[in-house]
Amino acid sequence: MELIFEISRPGRGAAHVSASDVPAVDLDHIIDRKYLRDELDLPEVAEIDLVRHYTNLSRRNFGVDLGFYPLGSCTMKYNPKINENVAAMPGFTGVHPDAPDAFARGNLELMYDMQKRLSSIFGMADFTLQPAAGAHGELTGVMMIKKYFEKKGEKRHLILIPDAAHGTNPASGALCGFEAVTLRSNMEGGVDLEHLESLMTEDVAALMLTNPNTLGLFERNIEKVAQIIHSRGGLLYGDGANANAFLGKTRPGDMGFDVIQLNLHKTFSTPHGGGGPGSGPVGVGEVLVDYLPVPRIVKNDSGYGWSDHFPDTIGRMRAFYGNFNVMVKAYAYIRSLGAEGLTRATEMAVLNANYIKEKLKPYFDLPYDRTCMHECVFSGNRQVEQNGVHTSDMAKRLIDFGYHPPTIYFPLIVPEAIMIEPTETESVETLDAFCEAMISIAREAEENPQRVKDAPLSTPVSRLDEVLAARKPDVCWKK
């Protein structure tokens, strides 16, 4: 495909500006000439070529609106377009971030009500909507934990992180000055309780746990885990990025979590990935309410307003009040689905993951053969040992079948991991077709392994140097 600069021809254009009827001004009096350019090196293309260029470019991309995108842990699901329309309403988009409370009461009420609804869905005492993403929410949560122990005068410097955890968890702990200690998983893919007992000392501030964990497995001993942590004065942090696994079924607050972060841009109607704005609200139990970031929304005589008067707060985590439009989409999603709809979404997410797990089980190793939650994790070990074909080869081959590959090589405790998250929004026909593609690839690995190793065969470029492409991408056009 040619670059836009290569199709450029002098004199062509897609815009026609009428001759100006405003008298010219001599800029020399206003600005030093050296700051001005006469020539701008911009491509000159006719409108039709411009439209075709960008339409063709967009077709080389892959997204949920184009096909199945089973990227485990990331929850790439269809997000109802009506929620985009709601978030685009002028009353939501037009308000100035510095507008006085009185001019933004409706929006404040939406956020206030959103906090209340999240508190009831997740069983927490209160929520903040400030953090801009999941990892930012983790940081907020761990900062509150740190402040809580400072206030109590306890010097705890360790934070426990299971070996299956998302990489952002140890990073968030470290950013707050905690030393991360790895907690082992047991044979069932859950927390190794004996190891937890031995690690849980008065030096440990918290355990950061994902439930269901990144193997897609529900922690059966969660109450016991919470009891061990709390009995030694520690706090239980929950990574709630994958909340579509339990909405309406159970609540982190009831499981014993003291603080959790959510990813609205996974569970609640904003696409994850693509670098767009996210939102990582943080919910707290009573023990941490005083430490929530400010400003907080308060209900007062004249409606809703902001308040900074919380002496133990960790302070402000973000300019203004977070990514408001993501909150509006989540609010529209929650209100339109209702309790019943959210529960049904979870049921379908879990059913779909188990459907795929059972269909693919004869063809791929399944290290933890239990009922899974919203995702299932296979291993490509059999294909490596029998055919010399790796998980990365099979993932590349899936592209030729028109699918985005699942998450691979994560979680780290599963060798050659293939982590599939179908989400609740896919039909049985889509799941069947995907499973057929996976099964053909497993067969091909036996019959013609080289073909799998050469994949993808249908894309503009095939195998890139992934490290160079990620670390030193050359996206500059030079004449």
Ligand X SMILES: *Cc1c(COP(=O)(O)O)cnc(C)c1O
Among residues 281, 289, 285, 286, which one has the least CA distance to residue 312? 289
- Considering the complex, state which of residue 305 and residue 422 has its C-beta at the smaller distance from ligand X: 422
210 binds ligand X (CB under 6 A): yes
- Binding ligand X by CB under 6 A: which of 241, 284, 326, 420? 241
CA angle 127-130-135, nearest 5°?
A: 95
- Considering the complex, state which of residue 211 and residue 387 has its C-beta at the smaller distance from ligand X: 211
Q: Site map for ligand X, 120-139, x if CB under 6 A?
A: -------------xxx----
Task: Tell me the number of residues near ligand X by CB under 6 A.
Answer: 14
Q: How far is the CB of 166 from ligand X (least distance, A)?
A: 4
- Considering the complex, state which of residue 245 and residue 337 has its C-beta at the smaller distance from ligand X: 245
- Considering the complex, state which of residue 190 and residue 305 has its C-beta at the smaller distance from ligand X: 190
Q: How far is the CB of 278 from ligand X (least distance, A)?
A: 5
Is 422 strand, coil or helix?
coil
Q: How far is the CB of 167 from ligand X (least distance, A)?
A: 8
Q: Give how far Cα 214 sits from Cα of 37, 270, 375, 409, 462, Å.
A: 54, 21, 8, 12, 30
Q: For residues 280 and 476, give the distance between their C-alpha atoms in angstroms, rounded to a whole number.
A: 34
For residues 221 and 193, the answer to whether their CB atoms sit within 8 Å is yes
**Token pair belonging to 269:** 């109607």
Q: For residues 127 and 139, give the distance between their C-alpha atoms in angstroms, rounded to a whole number.
A: 15
242 binds ligand X (CB under 6 A): yes
- Considering the complex, state which of residue 267 and residue 352 has its C-beta at the smaller distance from ligand X: 267
- Considering the complex, state which of residue 162 and residue 234 has its C-beta at the smaller distance from ligand X: 162
Amino acid at 199: L
Taking CB under 6 A as the binding criterion, the range among 220-228, 238-246, 373-381, 401-409 that sits at the site for ligand X is: 238-246
- Considering the complex, state which of residue 45 and residue 414 has its C-beta at the smaller distance from ligand X: 414
Q: How far is the CB of 263 from ligand X (least distance, A)?
A: 5
Residue-wise DSSP of 28-86 = GGTS-GGG--S--------HHHHHHHHHHHHHTS--TTTS---BTTT------HHHHHH
Q: Site map for ligand X, 168-187, x if CB under 6 A?
A: x-------------------
164 binds ligand X (CB under 6 A): no
| 57 alpha-carbon distance from chain centroid | 25
Q: For residues 445 and 361, give the distance between their C-alpha atoms in angstroms, rounded to a whole number.
A: 16
Among residues 282, 306, 329, which one has the least CA distance to residue 138? 282
- Considering the complex, state which of residue 107 and residue 168 has its C-beta at the smaller distance from ligand X: 168
Strand ranges of the sheet holding 158-162, from the earlier edge strand across to the other edge: 126-128, 282-284, 259-262, 235-240, 204-209, 158-162, 179-183
Q: For residues 169 and 159, give the distance between their C-alpha atoms in angstroms, rounded to a whole number.
A: 10
Under rule CB under 6 A, which residues in 22-41 are in contact with ligand X?
none
Taking CB under 6 A as the binding criterion, the range among 144-152, 237-245, 318-326, 418-426 that sits at the site for ligand X is: 237-245
Taking CB under 6 A as the binding criterion, the range among 143-151, 236-244, 248-256, 447-455 that sits at the site for ligand X is: 236-244
Under rule CB under 6 A, which residues in 249-288 are in contact with ligand X?
263, 278, 280
Q: For residues 86 and 107, give the distance between their C-alpha atoms in angstroms, rounded to a whole number.
A: 13
Q: Site map for ligand X, 50-89, x if CB under 6 A?
A: -----------------------x----------------
Q: For residues 391 and 411, give the distance between their C-alpha atoms in angstroms, rounded to a whole number.
A: 13
Contacts with ligand X, residue ranges (CB under 6 A) = 73, 133-135, 166, 168, 210, 214, 239, 241-242, 263, 278, 280
